[in-house]
Amino acid sequence: MSKIAVKAADSGRASQSGAIRHDWTREQVRALFAMPFPELMYEAQRIHRLHFDSCEVQISTLLSIKTGGCPEDCAYCPQSIHYKTGVKAEKIMRLDAVLAEARAAKTAGAQRFCMGAAWREPKDRDLDQVCLMVAGVKAMGLETCATLGMLTAPQASRLKQAGLDYYNHNLDTSPEYYSQIITTRTYQDRLDTLTHVRDAGIHVCCGGIVGMGEGEEDRIGMIATLASLPVHPESVPINLLVQVEGTPLAAGKTLAPLDFVRVIAAARITMPASVVRLSAGREDMSDETQALAFLAGANSIFYGPKLLTTPNPERDRDMALLDRLGLIPMSD
């Protein structure tokens, strides 16, 4: 093994017991990315098995409860008012319609029901409706998750009281590359929302997007930032950019599959007890790429025909792939 591989392996094997660390440096994460692929996969799988059943996958469904009209300028997002993508601004869904979707998701095998709204931040009157949705979904026995934009501390507390289990708020990329993707809110704004969510007692779902034209150093920086949070996110979604016509990122070089898998493996090694979600972009991934991602430590997926406004593999295709790989839904 090369010296850099040995150094990376030593970083990853800081504890043979898989103890959780919050002091990952960029140098250490960089060394993980530089490991020979077989060594990286071995270490990711070793860590994965210390904390999870290697054959279980957590299954979630994501519903857009309020689509389009977002004032943010996230360069990847078809819901932004700044871009002409054909996505129209809609009003928030009716409570009964959301609960019907949640019942259907549970029947189809989902364990967690996630609700997303295209807001910069919710107004208090909007939150009234969302809290009713959360309480209704929770009463069905599903885990609840929401992604609504930035939150204040009182808003996070209200969602907790309504029964919210998880809140998604991604960092998206490295601190250095962030301003190339978003200008309407700061990196610190995102960290502040995560603090409010954590302080309210809600589990954190936080990851990022790769393939946005960033360099490997930015992917390293994103993982190092997530792994250095005072408490690791309980759920870490790793999204592969879906290029949507009309957005600034509609054209550009796509990320190589093996580079994507390296991000999954690094997330698994540095955040051993977190569920790592193979998230957006699966529609364009081969079965082999997804299989490698599961081998690298991904153990969660969204299923259903859509992720907010972008395509997602049909449920039958997902179930067929999981069956071929011998993977089963995660038990409660």
- Distances 45 to 121, 128, 293 between C-alpha atoms, Å: 38, 43, 11
- Per the residue annotation, which of 30, 77, 198, 219 is the catalytic one? 77
Crossing angle of the two packed helices 257-270 and 37-51, in degrees rounded to 10: 40
SS3 assignment, position 236 = strand
Strand bridging mode 300-302 / 306-307: unpaired
- Per the residue annotation, which of 190, 219, 268, 277 is the catalytic one? 277
277 is catalytic: yes
Q: Report angle CA 150, 214, 258 to the nearest 5 degrees.
A: 110
Q: What is the largest CA-CA distance in the chain?
A: 59
- Per the residue annotation, which of 131, 145, 158, 185 is the catalytic one? 145
- Per the residue annotation, which of 74, 112, 158, 219 is the catalytic one? 74
- Per the residue annotation, which of 70, 112, 185, 219 is the catalytic one? 70
- Per the residue annotation, which of 30, 131, 205, 282 is the catalytic one? 205
55 is catalytic: no
206 is catalytic: no
Determine the Cα–Cα distance for residues 270 and 2; give it in Å rounded to an integer.
Answer: 21
114 is catalytic: yes
Decide if 229 contacts 24 (C-beta within 8 A).
Answer: no
Tokens of 6: 């040995």
175, 177, 178, 182: CA torsion to nearest 10: 170
131 is catalytic: no
Decide if 209 contacts 241 (C-beta within 8 A).
Answer: yes
Residues assigned a catalytic role = 70, 74, 77, 114, 145, 205, 277
